[in-house]
Structure 1
């Protein structure tokens, strides 16, 4: 009898482990696909807009927003080799739709089933690739970038909210996948262009990525209710003794490897949501500060960190800055299983120190070569990625069950606010240095 019971128990454990790996893999691909169009679209739009500029000189004023940062500015008499308009202009155009969605959507998006949201995100990403591929006017390319931004913004808040209905380790998959999107998107686009494909054909090939998002959501994830936040079960919520065991540090590993507990929940009132938002400030502010310093470096300073006597050209230096940054992000967003950092404010301060060091380096040009900048940029990416995954891990861990889904969606606004403020700050910084 004892042996007869062991078989089903072992099979059940095997099935549960297989389901956990499916969910982890599914969230990894969802993170990759969600951020892929967002990463690729700016590079592609630059190429398309430059082609349109050569065909239509009347569009030159608008196209100047998207001039390749790798090239010098022959019309600029500044001691810095910089473009007339800060690259923050392009970043601002790309981040604003995402910011608007993240601010507004958590208050009403729960009326839409997750499957509908996924299909909408896929449609937006597909439309962005098609619009930029077949663009015949500047406004079409800009609209394509906006569609990619909408897809990424809605997808991020939706998948972060959805993660609360799975084991918490799916956040590891999501974080690693979003980090991989930066490296894979930039690398794949560059490789295909270098291989001789046109930007149009390259983007058409990348239409497989939105399809992969559909497969990941509907094919890999263990199904949940279309409205899981409204799911009600007969089972009671964990009692105080059980909850204490879950909170006990000695039980942390068991908690993370077990199935998520049953949640008894209903739609939150506006008052409850505002109360949750106030409680998220301690998470959102440090995350926003990390991303402010990070993108002030990327969009306000990185272009100005040019070493004319170095073995690499300005374009090559900038390209390596971007690659090393994305590698750092990928590494740290994949590190949640190895290390967890509760005090996000420490990462914020370290990132601000990076920004100050590089700002002083731009102002006084005391660095001998690009190697120091390479190291700082890699370190910058590590800090940013670590702040992202740890913020959402501890929100998921410390927020009470009924509030967790809304909290995860609402907190996603933190990085977008930081990026938007950084883009605005990059304008005067860029103007000042380029006027010298």
Structure 2
């Protein structure tokens, strides 16, 4: 009895075994020599429709994964000024600290930033080495996201609100590692739609919070309305996304089908996946630093601005239509608009030298630092323009970094490279949080 064994690579643009079988015939291999031929998927309307469905699903996953994180940062000024001893009712928004002409919160919004990023950092450190069942991971992400909105919206103490922020951070961190690693099993353009979705989360999150609170809803009610977000995430992942047969996050070289056919035409098919060993992951790390260091520097700079300096740049002359709370919220919305534009631009404008964004972002730090100390910029519109520019640089650094990885890193190394590089922006934000708190305190005690 003769036996023919064929390998069909199913890790390309299609995830269907049937599509692989319909493609160009593959070469067989004998017991002495094996030849693997990567085949082009059969072109069909169904495959094109599936690809577009996956692109939309990843845009929605990017949107919902980052939404809670953005909401917590937009609400940072409100969370820290709540009077939890009076049935959780917020202080009036026109209340100011008369003893401090700079109108500073006693605690920097960098505190919320740390609560919103350290759990994410922990998740990103361990997630690439954790369990690889994607459905279990995503279920955890959805539950943490839902819990974050409930805890902050119903908080009766500052600690309870901070725990809610921590849940949002853990959800976002685990989700980013999981979804970006999972992109290796789909068409590479899902990376750009994911990035666009995360940018949209920034804009829609900041705009929805600023808009709803400006319309008269309390910060608590606004946060509770956001419970729709984890529901959309679940529907996008489990109903809209077309999953491959193999859904483990193992950093595979390729997903193959082994086709075994004997004389009786009995066919046996079996998936197998080749994973990176721990030692291979450690050997790969140094080569990834060229992606990780520039994006970390960009994120340190922009979050020092957002959470350490922006809240200190206040225009009393605008109080007739925007008080301090509202100015901070619209700073966040403007920043997220810049992020959305740049994160959606990689297919039109590809930046290969990512370090340029680092240099430009640190120039922004100097501008905002001197403005927070000396108040030499007299127009809120100039600040809004600078914040928009800051967001453009930050979003460009993010999407171009991951797009470069998609184009330059070998397929079998790509899932791990994607997952571990997400650590760099989180490390940058964490460092920025620790810088922001003492920086805030020093500037608040300076004379006008």
Q: Is TM (by shorter chain) over 0.5?
A: yes
Task: Report whether the alignment pairs 1:425 with 2:435.
Answer: yes
Deviation at 1:274, TM superposition (A): 1.2
In the aligned structure 2, how far is the partner of 1:196 from the partner of 1:431?
Answer: 31
TM-score, length basis structure 2: 0.80
Residue of structure 2 aligned with 1:126, choices 101, 122, 146: 146
**Mapping for residues 185-334 of structure 1, pairs under 5 Å:** 185-224=205-244, 225-227=246-248, 229=250, 232-234=255-257, 265-310=273-318, 312-334=322-344
Deviation at 1:221, TM superposition (A): 1.6
In the aligned structure 2, how far is the partner of 1:364 from the partner of 1:89?
Answer: 24
Indicate if the aligned counterparts of 2:84 and 2:156 stay in contact, CA closer than 8 A.
Answer: no
Compared CA separation, residues 86 and 71, structure 1 to 2 (3 A): farther
Which one has a bigger Cα radius of gyration?
2
Task: Report whether the alignment pairs 1:75 with 2:99.
Answer: yes
In the aligned structure 2, how far is the partner of 1:42 from the partner of 1:156?
Answer: 17
Deviation at 1:355, TM superposition (A): 0.8
Q: Residue in 2 aligned with 1:14?
A: 45
Q: Residue in 1 aligned with 2:165?
A: 145
Unpaired runs of 5+ residues, structure 1, are 1-8, 237-262
Compared CA separation, residues 24 and 71, structure 1 to 2 (3 A): farther
Deviation at 1:370, TM superposition (A): 2.2
In the aligned structure 1, how far is the partner of 2:91 from the partner of 2:221?
Answer: 21
By percentage of residues, which structure has more helix?
1
Indicate if the aligned counterparts of 1:46 and 1:67 stay in contact, CA closer than 8 A.
Answer: no
Q: Which moved more, 1:177-186 or 1:194-203?
A: 194-203
Indicate if the aligned counterparts of 2:114 and 2:433 stay in contact, CA closer than 8 A.
Answer: yes
In the aligned structure 2, how far is the partner of 1:42 from the partner of 1:125?
Answer: 15
**2:393 match: secondary structure:** helix
Indicate if the aligned counterparts of 1:341 and 1:390 stay in contact, CA closer than 8 A.
Answer: yes
1:352-385 Cα distance to aligned partner (Å, 9 max, x none) = 1111122223333322322222211110000000
Indicate if the aligned counterparts of 1:310 and 1:369 stay in contact, CA closer than 8 A.
Answer: no
Compared CA separation, residues 135 and 13, structure 1 to 2 (3 A): same
Compared CA separation, residues 68 and 16, structure 1 to 2 (3 A): farther
In the aligned structure 1, how far is the partner of 2:355 from the partner of 2:132?
Answer: 34
RMSD: 3.0
Deviation at 1:402, TM superposition (A): 1.1
Compared CA separation, residues 425 and 378, structure 1 to 2 (3 A): same
In the aligned structure 2, how far is the partner of 1:366 from the partner of 1:293?
Answer: 20
In the aligned structure 1, how far is the partner of 2:417 from the partner of 2:176?
Answer: 13
Q: Residue in 1 aligned with 2:126?
A: 104
Deviation at 1:23, TM superposition (A): 0.9
Task: Report whether the alignment pairs 1:375 with 2:385.
Answer: yes
Paired residues, number: 392
Q: Residue in 2 aligned with 1:246?
A: none
Deviation at 1:184, TM superposition (A): 1.4
**Mapping for residues 318-397 of structure 1, pairs under 5 Å:** 318-397=328-407
Compared CA separation, residues 307 and 199, structure 1 to 2 (3 A): closer
Compared CA separation, residues 91 and 344, structure 1 to 2 (3 A): same
Compared CA separation, residues 313 and 131, structure 1 to 2 (3 A): closer
**2:84 match: secondary structure:** helix
Q: Residue in 1 aligned with 2:65?
A: 34
By percentage of residues, which structure has more strand?
2
Deviation at 1:195, TM superposition (A): 4.4
Indicate if the aligned counterparts of 1:296 and 1:423 stay in contact, CA closer than 8 A.
Answer: yes
